Amino acid sequence: MGVRSTADALVLAREIDLDLVEVAPLANPPVCRIMDYGKFRYEEAQKAKESRKKTTHVTIKEVKFRPKIGKGDFDTKVRHMHAFLQDGHKVKVTLQFRGREMAHPELGSRILDAVIEQLADVAKVDTQARLDGRNMTLVLSPDKKPTKKSANKDPKKSTEQKAPANVDAVTSNTDELVTESQVNAKDEDQQDSGEAIQENGNGQVAPPAREPTTPV
């Protein structure tokens, strides 16, 4: 809009019901913009909020070990480290030596190697193990590896696909049972009819026997 006096700029901003905002006060002459200042502040706040969401806060979690740690305590600490790494945090592993344990640093190296082996799927070594005074430290960072897709994506579909085979098997077994019962029934009917029909010596069919009646 060119160079204008402050009074003229204010009059122009009021005519269109907007605000006169100074955006570059150190320029010569100062640069101003006519805008809706309330809307501008809201948009800037939304941008700052979105930028804060995208930023990741990485913290370092420290887990301490001893050279004579038991199997149960070791597994518990490894599970905690696994959870920290999955949440995106770095983990500092500190192995503390006391007294005569300083004469056997290889014990600490074995424990740190076991930790690396247990967490190889979710972590990578950020700082190699080193001995600092009475402590041996190791830093692990999250390692985001691509996950392999499973062959059966939906277990329900695989179950539904197998269901018809089971139904056929049950149906076939039922048909076999029905057929076998029908055969047994026919055999029993033939046996009963064979007992009821008796042939005489001449090949004639004997009449059925009658029950004796008593005269009244």
Domain that holds residue 26: 1-39
- Do 25 and 73 belong together in one domain? no
Residue 181 scores a pLDDT above 70: no
Instruction: Tell me how many domains the chain contains.
Output: 2
**The whole model's pTM is what?**
0.44
Tens-place pLDDT, residues 4-63? 888 888 888 888 888 888 888 888 888 888 888 889 899 999 998 888 877 767 788 999
* Arithmetic mean of pLDDT over the chain: 74
Cβ proximity of 92 and 80 under 8 Å: no
β partners of residue 141: 124
CATH number at residue 6: 3.10.20.80
Q: What pLDDT score does 131 carry?
A: 85
- Do 19 and 65 belong together in one domain? no
Residue 186 scores a pLDDT above 60: no
- Do 19 and 80 belong together in one domain? no
Residue 211 lies in a domain: no
Residue 94 CB: number of other CB atoms within 10 A? 14
Give me the sign of the Cα torsion angle 101, 104, 109, 115.
negative
Residue 138 lies in a domain: yes
Amino acid at 95: L
